[in-house]
Structure 1
Amino acid sequence: MDFRLTEDQRALRKGVRELLARLFDREALRAAVDAPSLDRGLWRELGAAGFFALRLPEEEGGVGLGLPEAVLAFEEAGRCLVPGPLVATHVAAGSVPGAAEGSTVVTEVDEGLVPWLDEADVVLGDATGAVPMRSVDPLTPLHRAPGLVGTTGVPDTADVLPTTGVAVLLTAAEQVGSAAATTEMAVRYAREREQFGQVIGGFQAVKHLCAGMLVRVELARAAVWAASVTADPVEIAGAKLLADEAATGNARDCLQVYGGMGFTWEADVHLHLKRAWVRAELRLPAARAEEVVAAGL
């Protein structure tokens, strides 16, 4: 079997990356950090480009692609930290009017948390009595829904697929994109920053950090891509575990490569780490994902 991306898949990934570079560049990212609110114009642009309708059949006005293609698109979204309930809106396309077109923002109650509640038009799940809470990620406002917590049981196939499993996997894809971005940031900085008369990328300790980051990315990406083909609940859980580890671990190592500069507000490294922390607690967090994998073994 040939597991390489097809020409169409490579073109899709390239197109999404170029689209997001135009719609949400670093200047837009920093502006969103300074004044966090959901950009409805960006949402409609994504809808017009087919981002939310990627998996809808063509006869229903969608693009007619599958989960592997959606994973590629969400990896690119994670790479540039696009804010907003992207996954919930994408999963709701076809069932919630306006979600596919980006005219309706959909969020959901997940693990007792509700991202972007104040900005959403539709909330999936019971958010009655939800109260605002301080979010570690300045680009992900959160509410806590009282009495709603993640279950500790092991979901079976019926529970995980088709909607919950898709949401978990797309969240994992975002984590992979973030992990890839911090790897590239670390390598780029290591090639530019000089210390003791040479670039720090020449030091063995820095080389090891960057190599470890690359290994995490490739392992997590392979797991996410494989799960997108099989749609197996156990593989999805394993992919989420690896993707969470890659996103948080790579952001931490990127901070180490950057040194003191990485801990400043002006650097983007902390934004990747904070988003990775939040994603890791949403949609099958580690404790539950481990139970799924353990039961499968």
Structure 2
Amino acid sequence: MRFQLTEDQRALRDGVRELLARRFGAEALRAAVDRPGRLDRALWRELGTAGFFALRLPETHGGVGLGLPEAVLAFEEAGRALLPGPLVATHLAAGAVPGAATGEAVVTTAGNGLVEWLAQADVVLGDAAAAEPLRSVDPLTPLHRVASGREVDPLTVLLTAAEQLGSAGRVCEMAAQHARTREQFGRPIGAFQAVKHLCAEMLVRTETARAAVYAAAVTADPADIHTARLLADEAAVRGARDCLQVHGGMGFTWEFELHLHLKRTWVRTHRAGEVTESEESLAAELLAHPT
């Protein structure tokens, strides 16, 4: 079984990254932070036109006709760019909810007792009648709490893991770049052993999570998906914290992109069910198939 990206997959990844860099770069990200709770509908429709939501729909149904591995690559780029909105829910609703595939409709779901972007959603899957607003740590992910949510779909778990992988990769790059350029005592801080270790550990966690997420996208096996989720969560959350340590006091500032990655990674860990749920699901799968 090969896990190397094909030429078409690399082109898809690069195309999504280029689109997001053009439409949701640093200035757009800061503008979104300054208007929390407002979703850019023009960008949402542009994502629809580009096939982001219809990526896995058959061409006979107006989709792109690709598979889960390609969706994982697209969501990895979305996580890297900190793209806001209920992306996973809308993507999974394409083909079932009118307008979701084209970006004309914003779809969210009451999963695990939480609802993202409730006020901006056109369609809510699940019961959100008695939803109570929460103060979200992430300014780009407004949250509501509901008494009970829908059972979390394994694909939600996997695509969320892909977003976490995108954040992990981005903060790893940020740490390495800062370590190369920031100097103390006449030397780049990357020359000091403590910083070297932080950056190396971030890279190892990120690449381990990447292998697990890509493998789960190929197999779609529940045990592989939960393994990928656990590794991606760790790579994203610990990576953001370690990146903050590399940057020192600058990493704590509101204006810096890093703190948004840290807060988004925290929120994502709750979207796909609690970590213990994935641990228990993985344990159950392993016990059921001990070989």
Question: Is the structural similarity TM-score above 0.5?
Answer: yes
Partner of 1:123: helix, strand, or coil? strand
Q: SS at 1:108's partner residue?
A: strand
Task: State the match for 1:34 in structure 2.
Answer: 34
CA contact (8 A) 2:233 2:269 kept: yes
Secondary structure of residue in 2 paired with 1:135:
coil
- Runs of 4+ off more than 3 Å: none
Q: Give the drift of 1:149.
A: 5.8
> In structure 1, what is the Cα distance between the partners aligned to 2:3 and 2:255?
39
| Match of residue 107 from structure 1 | 108
So what's the TM-score if we normalise by structure 1?
0.94
Task: Measure how far apart 1:220 and its partner are.
Answer: 0.7
Distance of 2:265 and 2:208 partners within structure 1 = 17
2:236 to 247, 257, 279: 247
Shift of 1:2: 2.7
Partner of 1:292: 281
State how far apart, in whole Å, the 1-side matches of 2:120 and 2:196 are: 43
State the match for 1:18 in structure 2.
18
**1:3 is matched by which residue type in structure 2?**
F
Aligned to 1:153: none
Structure 1 residue identity aligned to 2:192: F
State the Cα deviation string for residues 235-275 of structure 1 (Å, max 9, x = none). 11111111111110000000000001101111111100000
Matched-pair contact (CA < 8 Å) for 2:110–2:149:
no
Which residue is 2:168 aligned to?
A: 179
> 1:240, 1:284 within 8 Å by CA — same for their partners in 2?
no
Whether 1:278 and 2:267 are equivalent positions in the alignment is yes
Equivalent residues in 2 for 1:60-209, closer than 5 Å: 60-145=61-146, 147-148=147-148, 164-209=153-198
CA contact (8 A) 1:133 1:143 kept: yes
Separation in 2, partners of 1:111, 1:2: 34
CA distance in structure 2 between the aligned counterparts of 1:81 and 1:23, rounded to whole angstroms:
12
Of 209, 218, 228 in structure 1, the residue corresponding to residue 207 of structure 2 is 218
8 A Cα contact 2:126 2:149, kept in partner: no
Amino acid at match of 1:10: R
Equivalent position amino acid for 1:283 in 2? A
Q: Which residue of 1 aligns with 2:7?
A: 7
Give the secondary-structure state (helix, strand or coil) at the position aligned to 2:115: strand
Count of residues in correspondence between the two structures: 285
Letter matched to residue 160 of structure 2: T
Structure 1 segment 42-61 matched on structure 2, within 5 A: 42-61=43-62
- In structure 2, what is the Cα distance between the partners aligned to 1:285 and 1:84? 20
- Alpha-carbon contact 1:237-1:284 (below 8 Å) kept: no
State the alpha-carbon separation in 2 of the partners of residues 67 and 256 from structure 1.
35
Q: Which runs of 5+ in 2 are unaligned?
A: 287-291
Question: 1: distance between equivalents of 2:14 and 2:261?
Answer: 22
1:195 CA drift (Å)? 0.6
**Letter aligned with residue 183 of structure 1:** C
CA distance in 1, matches of 2:34, 2:245: 25
Q: Distance in 2 between matches of 1:110 and 1:215?
A: 31
For the residues of structure 2 that align with 1:223 and 1:131, how far apart are their CA atoms? 36
The alignment partner of 1:109 has SS state of strand
8 Å contact kept, 2:114–2:143 = yes
- In structure 2, distance between residues paired with 1:196 and 1:187: 18
Q: TM-score under structure 2 normalisation? A: 0.96
| TM-superposition CA deviations, 1:132-181 (whole Å, max 9, x none) | 11001110000011x2168xxxxxxxx77xxx111110000000000000
Give 5+ residue unaligned stretches, structure 1. 151-158
Local SS of the residue matching 2:231: helix
Aligned-pair Cα RMSD in Å: 1.1
Residue deviations 1:104-150 (CA, integer Å, cap 9, x gap): 000000110000000000000000110111001110000011x2168
Aligned counterpart in structure 1 of residue 251 of structure 2, from 251, 262, 269: 262
Structure 1: distance between partners of 2:54 and 2:17: 17
For the residues of structure 2 that align with 1:194 and 1:51, how far apart are their CA atoms? 41
